[in-house]
């Protein structure tokens, strides 16, 4: 455990980059071998758009990283936050509790809010416009969303009282699992179901990318699947019935053009089928 803590306390930027790039490359290759859906699309053009959004997220997170670092250091030095108020426990248990709390407060609740708060949804729906969900879709987030996600992540670190090594560990796991559950891969249904009892599996997350409600507003989990079951947001849908995208932006000129994707949050609002925000 000490070696793990020491590693994530001083993890080089090159290692974090390797996790990101290595994960995309790994799942990209698997997608080619065992695709869930055989898309008829320009995979490179699609990837270029999603990688652009990945790069903007990296730049924003890097530019604001000192805020996250100062927040984590402050919580530890001042004994503030849930983890700091809990009784002493073994390091392995401290790690698991910390990861779960970060996942709940800094990821699940934020994702849920993005679907319930209109101005947040305007930015988040860029992620949902992707009609060809694959491993590059994991970081398809509008720069505006990347900014407020960072703010909420920092708030989560403050509330949980998370040391920076645990933040880096959580982010590393999150990157790989997001690439995994967005990947256009086929797992045996029984295996996928078993995986979803603990973490977000591909089939479980793909339901969230189905193009209509109520499926769009379900399965908000990031790493652990327990939160959706606990808060009643868990749904299933046969993989054969999946249709990706969001029903308000199904035209290619809207969901597959970078210029338009950047403008969507500022365009006239369109309510999805079934209504949203009283529209």
pLDDT in tens, 201-260: 999 999 999 999 999 999 999 999 999 999 999 999 999 999 999 999 999 999 999 999
Contacts of 73 (CB under 8 A, 6+ apart): 164
- pTM given for the model: 0.94
Mean pLDDT to the nearest integer, 156-175: 96
Asked whether residue 190 carries a pLDDT value surpassing 90, the answer given is yes
DSSP 198: T
Asked whether residue 119 carries a pLDDT value surpassing 90, the answer given is yes
Supply the pLDDT for residue 277: 73
Model confidence band, residue 2 (pLDDT cutoffs 50, 70, 90): confident
CA 279 to chain CA centroid, Å, is: 27
**CA 110 – CA 102 distance, rounded (Å):** 11
Residue 191 phi/psi, 5° resolution?
-65, -45
User: Residue written as tokens 């930027």?
Assistant: 13
pLDDT in tens, 120-146: 999 999 999 999 999 999 999 999 999
Question: Closest Cα to residue 165, out of 108, 94, 85, 81?
Answer: 94
CB burial of residue 136 (10 Å; 0-12, 13-18, 19+):
buried
Supply the pLDDT for residue 9: 87
Average model confidence (pLDDT) across the chain: 94
End-to-end CA distance of the chain: 51
pLDDT in tens, 88-107: 999 999 999 999 999 999 99
Model confidence band, residue 278 (pLDDT cutoffs 50, 70, 90): low
DSSP 265: G
């Amino acid at each position: 455990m000490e070696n793990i803590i020491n590693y994530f306390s001083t993890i080089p930027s090159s290692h974090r980059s390797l996790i990101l790039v290595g994960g995309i490359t790994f799942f990209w290759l698997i997608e080619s071998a065992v695709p869930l859906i055989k898309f008829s699309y320009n995979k490179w053009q699609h990837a270029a758009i999603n990688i652009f959004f990945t790069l903007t997220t990296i730049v924003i997170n890097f530019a604001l990283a000192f805020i996250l670092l100062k927040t984590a250091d402050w919580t530890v030095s001042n004994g503030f936050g849930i983890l700091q108020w809990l009784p002493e426990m073994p390091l392995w248990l401290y790690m698991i509790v910390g990861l779960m709390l970060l996942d709940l407060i800094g990821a699940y609740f934020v994702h849920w809010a993005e679907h319930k708060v209109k101005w947040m949804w305007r930015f988040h729906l860029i992620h949902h416009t992707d009609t060809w969900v694959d491993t590059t879709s994991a970081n398809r987030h509008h720069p505006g969303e990347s900014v407020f996600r960072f703010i909420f992540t920092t708030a989560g670190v403050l509330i949980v009282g998370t040391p920076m090594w645990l933040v880096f560990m959580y982010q590393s796991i999150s990157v790989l699992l997001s690439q995994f559950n967005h990947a256009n891969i086929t797992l045996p249904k029984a295996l996928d179901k078993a995986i979803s009892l603990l973490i977000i599996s591909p089939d479980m997350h793909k339901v969230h990318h189905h193009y209509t409600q109520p499926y769009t507003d379900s399965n908000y989990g990031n790493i652990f699947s327990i939160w959706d079951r606990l808060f009643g947001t868990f749904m299933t849908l046969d993989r054969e019935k999946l249709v990706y995208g969001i029903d308000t932006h199904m035209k290619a000129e809207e969901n597959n053009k970078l210029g338009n994707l950047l403008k969507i949050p500022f365009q006239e609002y369109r309510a999805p089928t079934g209504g949203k925000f009283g529209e």
